[in-house]
Amino acid sequence: DTEVTQTPKHLVMGMTNKKSLKCEQHMGHRAMYWYKQKAKKPPELMFVYSYEKLSINESVPSRFSPECPNSSLLNLHLHALQPEDSALYLCASSQGEQRQYFGPGTRLTVL
């Protein structure tokens, strides 16, 4: 398996909802990432997990809560989001510190 998968593809949620985004890879990669991408902008790094430990948190608001249950899975728990949080959320993985491979993303709309 040479792909990063993400579910769901699309998510619409209200500001009081709690939802989770999921990411999975079976390439044996030991680093996993969450990025946020707004329309016509580059991906912005949110979190990095290395060997299942959170190594980078880019001052992301606490309404976004990452979790890495094991080396193949990465979750992003969402709670009390704002409309400006609507974006494409991309997961990526890498073997070492370099080549990152992206999943297809979850397009999130917050109403």
Partner 1 sequence: GENVEQHPSTLSVQEGDSAVIKCTYSDSASNYFPWYKQELGKRPQLIIDIRSNVGEKKDQRIAVTLNKTAKHFSLHITETQPEDSAVYFCAASKDNDMRFGAGTRLTVKP
Query: What is the rounded CA–CA span in Å between residue 1 and residue 12?
Result: 29
Q: Which is nearer to partner 1, 9 or 16 (CB)?
A: 9
Q: Which is nearer to partner 1, 66 or 105 (CB)?
A: 105
Q: What minimum distance in Å lies between the beta carbon of 53 and partner 1?
A: 12
Q: Which residues bind partner 1 (CB under 8 A)?
A: 31, 33, 40-45, 48, 50, 55-56, 90, 94, 97-105
Q: What minimum distance in Å lies between the beta carbon of 2 and partner 1?
A: 12
Q: Which is nearer to partner 1, 26 or 41 (CB)?
A: 41
Number of C-beta neighbours around residue 62 at 10 A: 7
Q: What minimum distance in Å lies between the beta carbon of 79 and partner 1?
A: 26
